[in-house]
Structure 1
Amino acid sequence: MIKNSSNLLFINTLMLSTIMVISSNSWIGCWMGLEINLLSFIPLMVNKNNLLSTEATIKYFLMQAFTSSLLLFSIILFMISYNFTFELTYFKNLSFSTMIFFTLLIKSGTAPFHFWFPIVIEGLSWINSFILMTWQKIAPLLMISYFSFMNSFSFFIIISTIIGSLGGLNQISLRKIMAFSSINHIGWMLTAMMFNEYLWIFYFIIYSITSLTIVLIFNMNKIFYFNQLFSMNMKSQILKFTFFISLLSLGGLPPFLGFFPKWMVIQSMIEMNQLFIMMILICTSLLTLYFYLRICYSTFMFNIMQPNWLMNYYFNYKMMFLLIMFLMISLAGLIQFLSLTYIFY
């Protein structure tokens, strides 16, 4: 009871700290929100029964503390040089604010500063991994969107999409596969920032919904590694179908919901004549689809006989209702695709 109430307190603080960063109009306010966010997420990561979680917590704390100190140093240095101004709009057009930009890239796990991200996720539970892949990226990505030198995004977009797609090919840990998938999607979000102020938010929401569906299924079945997929017990056909559709939607396969934010980004790149970056993004998305389909193949194409006493599966009707709702959201992309096809053709 005490543990649940304390976790609820830390989750509320985590959400309020992110809202503090979103609503702040100064760099100092954003830095304070990031610090509160860090201190509220650290207790959620710790698990006394898992030594890997302790190691992951220490690594995460050291990395975030280093970037926070570097961010504060940069803010104070520029504040002293330019008449003690903290406003976000003042720093928006300054080329020397690249130091702040790099610290935010490290905090968000963007390549080539991604080295800590898969290692930390490997030691966390599925729920904490989901928080780290989604909610913990809101504040850094929002602060990155304040910068106006968007041309420098191209290098990080290409590196993130390539590393995110190639890094997941030879992994046997599903948490690391999801981590490299997150790095790949960060490249798409940075691309969306280059063309539209709100497009990356739409992309992030769709990515979070599809990732939540997959994480919930993995957490229900206690699946952490690739070889466990061969004995994954899914009694419900709806659950199996939801898992399959969610993976394809996360990979951006048309006509599912995950394809539509990528379609909007591709259309923006065509209008801005960014064809080289567009080809790299499309090719790397095909590579991510490969290891998503690899997961689906291992789960559904192998029939392994098990005795009944090994099937310890708890059928949670509330969780099934939630997964069915997410399935309907993913299939909503099919309805949009058919409606757009009717309009244009």
Structure 2
Amino acid sequence: MFLSPASLLFTSSIFLSIILVASSPSLMISWIGLELNTLTFIPLILITTGQQESKAAVTYFLTQTLASVLFLEGSLLLLSPLGPYIATPIILGALFIKMGAAPFHMWLPQVVEGMTWSTLFLLFTVQKVNPFLILSSLSFNHNLVVSIALISAVIGSIAGLAQSQTRLLLVFSSINHVGWMLVSMTLSFSLFLYYFLLYAILLMPLFMILKKFQVLHLNQTVNLGLSSSNQLIVFLTLLSLGGLPPFLGFLPKWMVLQGLMEAHLFFASAVLVFMSLLTLFYYLRLGISAFTLSKSLSYPTVTYTYMSSSAIFLIGISLLGFPLSMLL
């Protein structure tokens, strides 16, 4: 259903909005791109009809409308004499709402319950591109952005410890990664781009598995029925997504930490490292329950499920951290 002509049209419009924002000469054109992005993403939420989908669409619309109004107001205040002092915090607040950074993240858990896995992947990856592109073009207060990044890392790590639903667990993990992305943005745009691309690549195979088996709760991961070889590579990609060295997911975090140490931001480095350990616990819990505890169960007839070659290829990318770690 996600590959229907209407869905392909809306998805292509989302990427068109990214091109519009990336090439915009002013904040007003960027605002048009943000509105196009919002209006084309809402129909993707309503691919499947139901009460949860309708609630998620309304919540997403109201939240994004509030952020768009704040962004437009901040853009207009830039024309006033006191504009740079008043408008910039308003614009930053609007961007933080759109990207789901803490403490402006309360709309995310309410929205994800009514989304398909494909739409949820777009929300965690593609939908964050426009706010970060606009943020890279602004002259912002680095201390403010780093503070929001640390709050996102702390809330995303601690709040996720109490989650047993896979969707909510991924939500707070995404909030934690938003904190890392904000810190990387304060260092350099190329570092942010590197972190974002690797995060999307590592997140894709996990969503493919969750979508195929419709895993909504951690208890369901025991019955995935994967073969031993597939279990191993899935477990490795979970460790990579959690940032365990020397897997590929650790390399962008390593580069961010190097930049923070060179900038003498030792406290921010310590907070991010400690919170990253908590997010690694998410994926360890998911992996152990899915691939270790399942071996202790006995079934009369065991039927193994094999993943597609594309999923295995994407998961195998996590192993690239071994040779790349030797070069850094």
TM-fit CA distance, 1:146:
2.4
* Alignment partners' CA distance in 2, 1:269 and 1:2: 41
Secondary structure at 2:78 match in 1: helix
* Alignment partners' CA distance in 2, 1:265 and 1:228: 35
Superposition pairs of residues 1-345 of structure 1, within 5 angstroms: 4-79=4-79, 81=80, 94-96=84-86, 97-148=88-139, 149-234=141-226, 236-303=227-294, 304-306=297-299, 315=306, 320-340=308-328
Number of residues of Structure 1 aligned to a counterpart in Structure 2: 323
Paired-residue identity, %: 39
TM-fit CA distance, 1:2:
11
TM-fit CA distance, 1:237:
3.3
* Alignment partners' CA distance in 2, 1:134 and 1:251: 16
Q: Runs of at least 4 residues of structure 1 off by over 6 A?
A: none
TM-fit CA distance, 1:52:
1.4
Secondary structure at 1:198 match in 2: helix
Secondary structure at 2:244 match in 1: coil
Which amino acid in 2 is paired with 1:228?
Q
* Alignment partners' CA distance in 1, 2:2 and 2:148: 43
Superimposed CA distance per residue, residues 21-70 of structure 1 (whole angstroms, 9 cap, x where no aligned partner): 11111101100001111111111111444421221111001100111122
TM-fit CA distance, 1:307:
5.6
* Alignment partners' CA distance in 2, 1:24 and 1:332: 36
* Residue ranges of structure 1 left out of the alignment (5+ in a row): 83-90, 341-345
Give TM-score, length-normalised by structure 2: 0.93
Give TM-score, length-normalised by structure 1: 0.88
Aligned to 1:85: none
Tell me whether 113-122 or 157-166 shows the greater mean CA deviation: 113-122
Tell me whether 122-131 or 25-34 shows the greater mean CA deviation: 122-131
* Residue ranges of structure 2 left out of the alignment (5+ in a row): none
* Alignment partners' CA distance in 2, 1:306 and 1:52: 35
Superimposed CA distance per residue, residues 265-294 of structure 1 (whole angstroms, 9 cap, x where no aligned partner): 111111111111100000000001112101
CA contact (8 A) 1:105 1:113 kept: yes
Superimposed CA distance per residue, residues 310-342 of structure 1 (whole angstroms, 9 cap, x where no aligned partner): 9695x56xxx221222133211111112344xx
* Alignment partners' CA distance in 2, 1:67 and 1:153: 17
What's the RMSD between the two structures over aligned residues? 2.0
